[in-house]
A and B are shown apart, each in its own frame.
Chain A
Amino acid sequence: MCAPYNDNVRAFKILFFSLLASCIPALAHNVAAKDAEFLKQNAGAQIIPFVYLGAKHMVTGYDHLLFLLGVIFFLYRMKDVAVYVTCFAIGHSITLLTGVLTGVHLNPFIVDAIIGLSVVYKAFDNLDGFRTLFGFQPNTKATVLMFGLFHGFGLATKLQELSLSKEGLVGNMLSFNLGVEFGQLIALSVILFFMTMWRRTSDFVKHAVVANVAIMTAGFLLMAYQLGGFYNEQKNGPAPKPAAQEVVKDGTRG
């Protein structure tokens, strides 16, 4: 049982440090506003920038990362990890693509609250809550797929916020989705690296339950934060966007 772990650990170490090195420039300064400006000003196909944005969104999106952590918490075999990550990827790809193409616009706060709920759900599932409380186990692959669908709506909303031009939309969207997969692999490698290290210690058995309670707390907090944002938006209207503005027509007379 130990030999393949050592191989995995070595592989993860190499992958982890090379990825960490590549992540440092992105973490050093916040370029989100610049990214949005870039997209506004550049119509047409932008494959690499959109791949980068998709990957960045995944690597820096703590809600997606928490969910992934919950999903792979008790997955020991690479095969299982691959199966669940594929389910998740299929789910979010479907809604990301249809969401942007059909222009379906769900309230981002509600979508993000559901993403928070997915974190709570997965932690509850890790604690075997369904069998303990309700006496049945929901199909884990199906639920990961379902939450993948919601995460995809979240991604679609983010992409729509960037006010994309029609020109080159499909190519840019596919590039973004591809970037999301890359970002997910990067994030997953880092999470798996730490999980593998942790699982090899005797502390893991002691702390696994507490860790999932902590993940659940973070999920509840995400939900409260997003629902608070939703409440605030309903009460005060959407937050105005500070930027250079252009008006269509000259409003002065004479």
Chain B
Amino acid sequence: MNPQTGTSIALPSRKGLLIRVLVALVAALVIAFGFVLPAEYQIDPTGFGKATGLTKMGAGGVGATTAAHSYTEGFRTDRISLTLFPGMDYEYKVHMKEGEVLVYSWTSPGVWEYDFHGEPDKDPGNAVSYKAGNASESHGSLIAPFEGIHGWFWKNNTQEPMEIRLRMAGVYMPREDLTDPDEIEAEAAAQKVRDRAAAEKIKDEADRKAAREKMEREKAAKEKK
């Protein structure tokens, strides 16, 4: 019985042990410098990685996920501004394919409830929220994690009408530029309804304000008498 192993295994002698440790070390170094390091980190002192294409594999991996992306077409910049009355909300969306990039910045004089989110074409209804909260501005970028619509929901919870200014740059397609005529029609109709509601609300507010002022004026005149 061997005290270390609790079995009758014949453990190597001093020389045998040294040989085995050396074998383990050499085998590990051969695998590391021959395959793992060239492929993972482009460390290739032997030139074997270059000869076999292992280094290219690693380099491609880095480029694909990190620094430079290139697109054959579709780059654009947009400026959008919209005003919402108290209690109203609006969704502004763009369509992006997976991996396309959007850089954005929106600002407003007041605080909005917002939700920057995306919805996959393949799985509509399963929306993913990128960033949500209450803010008067937000600036950032998005690399679309899937093909679908990506954009903002804004809601005016204040007592004042507020304007919001959005600037975008990147590779994306605003939904109003959609080529499907049915969708354009539907979007236009929805916009008309929204515009009319907004206009009525303005008129309503103005009428009420005028009435209130008139009453106050009359009251003041009465008190003067």
Contact = CB atoms under 8 A, between A and B. Distances in A.
Interface residues of A, number: 46
Contact of B36 (A137, A228, A239): A228
Interface string B43-68: 10000000000000000001001110
A127 interface: yes
A6 B202 CA distance: 84
B80 interface: no
Contact of B37 (A74, A224, A246): A224
Interface string B136-151: 0111111100000000
A250 interface: yes
Contact of A128 (B5, B65, B129): B5
B130 interface: yes
Interface in A99-131: 120, 123-129, 131
A41 interface: yes
Interface string A208-222: 110001101111110
B132 to A, nearest CB: 9
A208 B5 CA distance: 10
Q: Is the interface of A mostly helix, strand, loop or mixed?
A: helix
B28 A221 contact: yes
A220 B25 contact: yes
Contacts of A133: 14, 17-18
A127 B11 contact: yes
A223 B14 CA distance: 24
B109 interface: no
Contact of A244 (B27, B41, B107, B143): B143
Contacts of B20: 127, 209, 213, 216
Contacts, number: 127
Interface residues of B, number: 48
A250 B28 CA distance: 50
Interface string B175-190: 0000000000000000
A91 to B, nearest CB: 22
Contacts of B13: 132
Given A127-B17, A205-B9, A217-B28, A228 B105 contact: no
Contact of A129 (B17, B27, B37): B17
A221 B4 contact: no
Nearest to A241: B66
B105 A250 contact: yes
Given A41-B129, A247-B139, A217 B27 contact: yes
A198 interface: no
Contacts of B141: 244-247
B197 interface: no
B140 A224 contact: no
Interface string B1-34: 0101111111111100110110111011101110
Contact of B32 (A209, A214, A225, A247): A225
A221 B31 CA distance: 7
19 contacts: A120-B24, A125-B4, A127-B17, A128-B4, A128-B17, A137-B4, A205-B8, A205-B9, A213-B20, A217-B28, A224-B29, A225-B40, A228-B36, A228-B37, A228-B41, A242-B66, A247-B140, A250-B105, A250-B107
Given A128-B4, A242-B65, A250-B139, 14 more contacts: A131-B4, A132-B11, A205-B8, A209-B10, A213-B20, A217-B24, A225-B36, A232-B41, A232-B43, A239-B62, A246-B131, A247-B141, A248-B139, A250-B107
Interface of A: 41, 74, 76, 120, 123-129, 131-133, 137, 205, 208-209, 213-214, 216-221, 223-225, 228-229, 231-232, 239-240, 242-252
